[in-house]
Amino acid sequence: MDRDEILAVDREMLWHPYTQMKDFEAIDPLVVERGEGVFLYDIDGRRYYDTISSWWCNLHGHSNPRVNEAISRQLAMLEHVHFAGTTHRPAAELVKRLSRYLPPQLRRFFFSDNGSTAIEVAMKMSVQFWHLSGKGAKCRFISLERGYHGDTIGTMSLGGVPDFSGPFACLKQDSFKLPAPYCYRCPAGQERSDCDVECLAPLDGILERHGREVAAVVLEPMLMGAGGMLTYPAEYLRRLVNKARSAGVHVIFDEIATGFGRTGKMFALEHAGVVPDFLCLSKGLTAGYLPIALTVTTEEVFEAFYADYSEGKTFFHGHTFTGSLLGCAAGIASLEIFESDRVLETLPEKVEALQTGARELLEFDIVGDVRGIGMVAAFELVENREEKRPFPAAIRAGWQLYLKGLSEGLILRPLGDVNYLLLPLCVTVEQIGDILERVKRVMADFRPC
């Protein structure tokens, strides 16, 4: 099929995620054909920096020979087997290697298929844990405005990104919401310099009034991705974990986007030195190759379910591709690369180049805020910087910037009017410099209207 045929079938038969399909009347989707390292190539050979790591997944570059080889080797042995009543070396080796990077308390691993399922597993385990522990029906959750945990009905109930789940309000189970720690537009009216995480104060009231019904607090540590790449202080996490623990409520960390080096450390929880009851991983787990996920929990949680079958304590949850052999093979190869290439040790220099370089975007008066952590840098477009006044939503300023970025070989897919770079860990300092220069060229004469 050539480009035109692909696009014709796409127009007639396909339906893309998070996409107003009518947008394709004005601009065709990129017909991507191959990838190498930090680059994607379209069918006409045009090269693009994969500046969003293919939806925050890719770590060691596209078509990485070592990950490719590991998957091929596994494929030649066995492609898939159900994971109930069987086990296998790839699953065992993956969790053993992974446990070296995790706090020792987190040592029970439950596989599923994607980020949303990892969260749903944690939610269900938490609810069943409290039930088994004789604490009654603790079936509600606390989550954050602007939080994002997936698109299944359960995870959508936790989510707080404006627009994402409007029509589905009738399906959602209400969760208690904390204001987002959106430092640029602080809900408590503070500045970063005088912040004492006042925005966390509402948690006390919720725990006091409803703690007995609440199973867990769920949040994305250090960086709230889909809500606008919001970064917030580690102290917020430390206090939140303490408060939840004191109230007999679990903490679920969603590190689906932040895990595997993206924030400059292997896991974002390390920034705060805290340990949740559940840690959810996906995306980078396979270096961005295959859809698998892990929900990691404590021995205390596991023990509550461990009993004779007749006692009815089994965790009845599973997915067809649980423990995927190919996914595990990719995950092992990825962790081998972390070790052999000392990936984490290469990050500080790259993080410095990205964060320092990104701050220069403040020279453009339509950039209201530049924020970032690790390999993620985001900039928020505003019509008026003094007033932090956004552009009218109908203008779709972020989308306009994305379209312009394509001509510079960048994929600046926006979150509303926040455009961002979320770079693969393998990007070089020189490439970061080149990417930032390109962003500046895109911004130079950009005036959304």
Ligand X SMILES: Cc1ncc(COP(=O)(O)O)c(C=O)c1O
**Positions that interact with ligand X (CB under 6 A):** 114-116, 119, 148-150, 220, 225-226, 254, 256-257, 282
Distance CA 311, CA 308 (A): 6
Strands 250-254 and 39-42: unpaired
CB neighbours of 359 closer than 8 A, spacing ≥ 6? 370
CB–CB of 156/164 below 8 Å? yes
**Cβ contact 376:262 at 8 Å:** yes
Q: Give the Cα separation of 90 and 81 in Å (integer).
A: 12
Nearer to ligand X, 156 or 329 (CB): 156
If the CB atoms of residues 256 and 366 are measured against ligand X, the closer one turns out to be 256
Task: Give the three-class secondary structure for 106.
Answer: strand
Name the minimum Å distance from CB 25 to ligand X: 27
Catalogue the active-site residues.
18, 148, 254, 283
Closest residue to ligand X, based on beta-carbon distance: 115
Closer residue to ligand X, CB minimum distance, 119 or 217: 119
CA distance 376 to 263: 7
Q: Which is nearer to ligand X, 289 or 391 (CB)?
A: 289
Residue 220 or 417: which CB sits closer to ligand X?
Answer: 220
Minimum separation from the CB atom of position 116 to ligand X (A): 3
To the nearest whole angstrom, how small is the minimum distance from the Cβ of residue 140 to ligand X?
Answer: 19
Extract the tokens encoding 74. 């596994």
Query: Hunting for tokens 């959750």 — which residue is that?
Result: 141
Q: Is 446 exposed, middle or buried (0-12, 13-18, 19+ CB in 10 A)?
A: middle
- Which alpha helices (H) appear in 286-396, and where do they start and end? 299-305, 325-340, 343-359
CA distance 238 to 176: 20
Which of 149, 112, 22 has its CA nearest to residue 295?
112
